[in-house]
Structures are given as C-alpha cells and as structure tokens.
Amino acid sequence: MRKALLATALLSSLAAAEPTIIPLPKEMKVAEGTFQVVPETGIRHDAALDGIAKLFAAEIKERTGSDTKTVREELRIMLPSEIRLDLDSSLPLKPGGYKLEVTPKGVLVTGKDIAGAWYGTRSILQMLPPKGAESWRAPAGAPMPLVSINDEPRFGWRGMHLDVGRHFFPVEDIKTFIDSLAFHKLNTFHWHLTEDQGWRIEIKKYPKLTEVGGFRDSSPPYGNRNSDDGKSYGGFYTQEQIKDIVAYAAARQITIVPEIDMPGHMAAAIAAYPELGNSDIPGYAPKVQTRWGVHYYTLAPTEETFRFVDDVLTELCALFPSQYIHIGGDEAPKDQWEKSPRVRELMKKEKMKDGHDVQSYFIKRVEKMLDKKGRKLVGWDEIREGGLSPKATVMSWRGEQGGIASAKEGHDVVMASNSHLYFDHYQRPAAEELAKGLAFEAIGGFRPVSSVYSYDPVPKALSPAEAKHILGVQGQLWTEYMKDFYKVEYMAFPRIAALAEIAWTPVERKDYNGFRTRLDGIMKHYDAAGIRHGMPLDPPKRETKDGSTVQTSLGIYQEHWPEFAYDGKPETFFWADRALKAGDHLTLTFRVAVSGKAKVVTGGAASRNGDKLASGVLEASADGSKWSEIAGFNDGTAEGSVPAGTTSLRIRVTKPQENWLIVHEIVVE
C-alpha cells in the first residue's frame, strides 16, 4: 500500500510540470494538480464527432488495456469519469482551433470544427503516459496535468511528403506514417506516386503503367550509388487500396495530395507507352530507370500526350478528393524537346523561343484540365520557368526565391525549402551515421533537428500582404536511400516534430530549448509505439573554449558561428555566407596574452568547393591596432610563430575569391 501511495505521489508531482505537447499550443496555462484517467473514464461527444470519438477511444484502450465507452452527449447516460468532446463554430479561432480544459473533475475539448476537436485529442494523448507505461497500473490511473489551452494552427498547410517512386512501401506502412503525422497535428500528406524509377498507382485505362512502369531491372545498392544490385524491383497500389488509404487519412483529418510528376521524371510511363515521349529524336530507347538522379526522358507536348494526361488526371481526381493536385514540374530536361523536329515545329507555331517556354506551355495546358475538374494545380518551383500559370500554387523547394517571387506576384505558396526541410539529408554527421553501416547512407547534406526548428516559413522579404500567400510549410522525404520503412522512420523522426512546431506554433512562442525538453517526452511515445527514430544532435553552444572573442566582417552561413573557429571541437567550424573581398577578416582576441606556434586550417568537406582561403595572411597584434604578418596561407593552411605578448590573431583576405570560407580551428600551442 505504501509503495502504491508513493508511486501515485510521484506521478502527480511529475504531471505538475509543463505538459509535453508538440507543437506547442498558442496559449497554455498550467495549474497544480491532476485529472486521473482511469479504465472507467468514458468519452461523451457531439454526434458529429462520432468517428473521432471512436478513434480516440481505441487509442486510449491501447494505453489502458480497457474498453473506453463512448456516449453521444444527447443521451442521458452517467459516466463516472468523463472526457467530453464538443463543437462551437463561434470560437474566435482559425479553422482547426480548439480549447482544452483539464480540471480535477473532467476534461473538455471544444473544437472550432471537427478538425479542431481532433487536434484537442492529440494534445490529450501527448499528455498521457506512452503505451505500456507503468503508470496505468497504479491504483489511481494515469495523471493528466490541469491545463487551460487556447490553440489554433499558424498555417493551413502543414505537410509531409513521401516519395514511393524510388522505393515502394506497403499499405500498412503508409497507414502507420499517416498515424504519425496525425499525432503531430500535421494535416497534409503529399504522396509522390510516380518517378523515372517506378509508377506506383493503378490507372485502369492504361494498365501498362503498372505492368511495365511499376518495375525496374535493378537498383543501386547502399554504399555504391553508381552500381546495380541486379534485382528486379517494383510494386504499386491498386485503386481499391488507394481509396482505403484516402479514407483512413480523412478520418484522421489528413488530406492526401497526390503527385503525378510531369513533364519530366516520366521515364517509367514513357517506357510503358513509348508514343508519349519524344520518339522522333535519334537514339530513342526509353526504359524504367535503374539509377537515381535527373533523367533525359520527358513527355512530348503532343495532343496524344495531353489526352493521356487528361485521362490519368480524371482517374486521379476520382480517387483523391483533395482540392490540390500536384503535377511536379521539376527537373524537366529540355534537351529532347529542343532536338525533336515535332516539338520545334510546335515552338515555331506557338512562338516559343526555348525549352522553358515549352515547359510553361505544358503546365498551362495541364492547369486548364484541372480547372475543368474543379481542382487547383500545385507544382515545384520550376513551373515558374517560361511564365507561371495564372492560378498555380508554387511549392518552393530550391531555397526561398521561387516562393518569394511567386508570393509577390500574388500566387499562393507552400514553403518546402531544401535548405531546412529535406529529411533525406543526414541528421547527424555523415561519418557518425556511416560508421553504423552502409544502410545509414543518405543522399548527402546535414540537417539536424535544430536546423529544421530554426526555419521560419514566412520569408523576411515579404510584406504582410504578400505573406498571406504563404499557405504553409512542408517537409520532404525522397527515398533513394530509404529501401525500407525502417529507414523512412529513422530519417523522418524526430525531425517531423520540429516541422510540426514551425507549422503550428506562433513564431514568437518558438524556443528551441523548450522544444528540446518536450521532445524527450515525445520520443518516449515514439519508443512505445515502435517508431524508429534518430537521436537529436543538439547544436553546439556559441562560445569559444576559454571566453576569448571572435569577430568577423563576413556574414555567417546557417549556424556556423565565428566562435566555432576557436572552440576546441574539431567537428564545428566557422562558415562564411558569401564570396570574399580583399580586407575581409576573422579576428580572435584572447583573454590573456599568448605565444607559441599557431596553425589555421581552412576549407572542408562540408562544402562542394572546399572553401579554402586561396590568398590571405595570418597576423598577430599585441594591442589590436598594429599588426604583423606571421604566415601566409598555402593550400588553405597557415602556420607561424606567435610573438610573446600577442593578444589577437587575425586571418585577413588579400585577394577576392568567389568561394566562401570555412575556418575549422585556430590552434595556438
């Protein structure tokens, strides 16, 4: 008995801390005390929330092992302990907003709409102990902190993308992925269904798309991306499976936006139906591609091809009720069009000067098809090339410039920048990941959780009026280096948690340290649910190893601060964000005077160009005003003797260079 009382007291004290909720609510007040969720706790709900109540009850059962009763609120059935789900469209909140009140006597979720009520239940689940937690076995049940939450999403598009063209994942894996998105209050699943390496959706009118285009002869193995494993690979979703998944997502307040990538990334479709491609060029021999990267084959802008596209979109729209249909539009090589006599004739007829105009012509034709079907076109930012379609929505992936330009022109935008939101990049240093085995290979890049969290989807270059065109934000999972769902989860989590918070939480409420504390609690839910995940790499503190100071005339790329050039950690470094000018400098001022041997190494593998200092000198000063050269830079490295009494060392650029600058560590011994 004494042990039980101690356990209950301990749980109550833990519950009084700030709740573990990601994304952080807009407004939240925490009081002392708890509401105990016991096996007898039931759910009373508005009749319109019947589906949500049943799903929520099943989730509570997973945690308690007990059946959770659901009761429509108009029925006069007494519940000994109650969580109530209600609706109030008059709440002064955005769509998806909700209020959550937890008192010692019960819990009330009031949604602005059905989605809002659902999001309220997500917050409850996150505040409860994970599946299988010992607390459920305590006599008093599981504690929920007493909170008052007033919450709404910052953006209406809170998305996550998954590429199934490079690697195919079974239906149950897709549903598991959808569950994870719902847990984080994400509401859009961008499903990338076609690629050069595989067509993954059944189209009744064109069966060879999956019979031929759904399979490739080989794939690159981990560790050798320019090789082949010699194993046939493929798979696709039937239309019945698609309908099932769409309904599954909708029940969890997630819209699936399908993508049929065109006019590029179409090698698999052209292999199935060669007449769709530029068959009048020399050496025409389409096949389902077996290597990653951008490939040569593009759809021909012929009437036959446009009939095919219209037919495919007709079947697609019958399967997906999404307002938006994604048509890709990215990385479409112009070579075949410019070599094709048929396309050159079209260019002459339509007064098109180059392949970019052909791209624009193609996208505008597709937009008209979707417009007739009552849908909106969304595409990657290359759809701007040659002129943007009138009503198109742009998904800006190549940094922010495409999104900025589109918003300024009055187009809606989803920010999906590869600078922060590509989860196919390493989330810990590449060497550390690859030391675990070749299966941990990624395409490249480095995108820790802190980098994702630092992103603001509204570019500073936009005015308040222009910023209204930012629909939201989305993370990307390209699966060249994700052969199974284990790897997908490992790359997605916990970065999805950071994505969720930048998509939902007001920017003024964001705080990485608070997020990081809450993330530890959320990862316990991952572990309990069997979700594989990487471990967060917390950013190094912006400080030198001994309190010395570093100043520079250069800008700073991402979070590679000047102090990292003198922090004693080989894995950190300073990285400038622009080309160098003569006179640019990085100056280290010591806490106490030094002497000895100095060595500075510039450049590094983080940069494709190396970013070594080509022309520069290392200088010393005793007073910070008079400088003497102690070494020149040779192949990016300088070594020299530091005179007694030196208080400062300076790296000074002597000639301009286009490459940026990396300074790994200034060493004085």
List, for residues 10-23, the tens digit of each pLDDT value.
Answer: 333 344 467 999 99
Residues near 179 by beta carbon (within 8 Å), at least 6 away in sequence: 252
SS (H, E, C) 653-669: ECCCECCCCEEEEEEEC
Taking alpha carbons only, the member of 157, 214, 208, 210 closest to residue 186 is 157
Question: 2-151, what's its fold?
Answer: Chitobiase; domain 2 (3.30.379)
What's the mean pLDDT when you consider all of the chain?
A: 94
Please report, in angstroms and rounded to a whole number, the separation of the first and last CA atoms in the chain: 64
The burial of 589, by beta-carbon neighbours within 10 Å (0-12 exposed, 13-18 middle, 19 or more buried), is given as: middle
Q: For 263-380, list the strands marked E by DSSP.
A: 324-328, 376-380
pLDDT digits (tens, 9 = 90+) for 397-445: 999 999 999 999 999 999 999 999 999 999 998 989 999 999 999 999 9
Helix 512-529 / helix 495-504 crossing angle, nearest 10 deg: 130
Return the pLDDT at 16.
46
Q: What's the CATH number of domain 161-192+397-536, 3.40.630.10, 3.20.20.80, 3.40.50.1370, 3.40.30.10?
A: 3.20.20.80
CB 127 within 8 A of CB 21: yes
Q: What is the maximum span of the chain, computed from C-alpha positions, in angstroms?
A: 89
Taking alpha carbons only, the member of 583, 591, 571 closest to residue 650 is 583
Q: Angle CA(93)–CA(84)–CA(498) in degrees, nearest 5?
A: 50
Between CA 504 and CA 156 the distance in angstroms is 9
Class assignment of domain 549-668?
Answer: mainly beta
Residues near 588 by beta carbon (within 8 Å), at least 6 away in sequence: 544, 548, 549, 550, 565, 566, 648, 649, 650, 666
Between CA 537 and CA 510 the distance in angstroms is 18
Element (H, E) at 394: strand 393-396
DSSP string, 328-388: E--S--SHHHHH-HHHHHHHHHHT--SHHHHHHHHHHHHHHHHHHTT-EEEEEGGGGTTS-
pLDDT digits (tens, 9 = 90+) for 34-64: 999 888 899 999 999 999 999 999 999 888 7
Average pLDDT of the residues in 74-95: 92
What's the DSSP call for residue 644? Answer: E
Q: Which residue has the tokens 């029925």?
A: 75
pLDDT digits (tens, 9 = 90+) for 379-391: 999 999 888 888 8
Element (H, E) at 210: helix 208-211
CB 323 within 8 A of CB 376: yes
What's the DSSP call for residue 24? Answer: P
Cβ atoms within 10 Å of 625's Cβ, excluding its own = 7
Between CA 620 and CA 597 the distance in angstroms is 12
- DSSP SS3 for 167: coil
Element (H, E) at 333: none
Question: 237-390, what's its fold?
Answer: TIM Barrel (3.20.20)
pLDDT digits (tens, 9 = 90+) for 244-299: 999 999 999 999 999 999 999 999 999 999 999 999 999 999 999 999 999 989 99
Residues near 521 by beta carbon (within 8 Å), at least 6 away in sequence: 20, 126
Domains in the chain: boundaries = 2-151, 161-192+397-536, 237-390, 549-668
CB 533 within 8 A of CB 493: yes
Q: Which residues pair with 198 in a beta bridge?
A: 195
Q: Which residue has the tokens 């596209």?
A: 309
Q: For 228-315, list the strands marked E by DSSP.
A: 233-234, 255-262
Between CA 56 and CA 64 the distance in angstroms is 12
User: Is the full-model pTM beyond 0.85?
Assistant: yes
Between CA 93 and CA 102 the distance in angstroms is 19
Give the β-pairing of 198-199 and 194-195.
Answer: antiparallel
Taking alpha carbons only, the member of 221, 224, 260, 222 closest to residue 242 is 260
Distance of alpha carbon 371 from the chain centroid: 29
Please indicate whether the domains covering 2-151 and 549-668 agree at the CATH topology level.
no
Q: Residue 175 above 90 pLDDT?
A: yes
Return the pLDDT at 387.
85
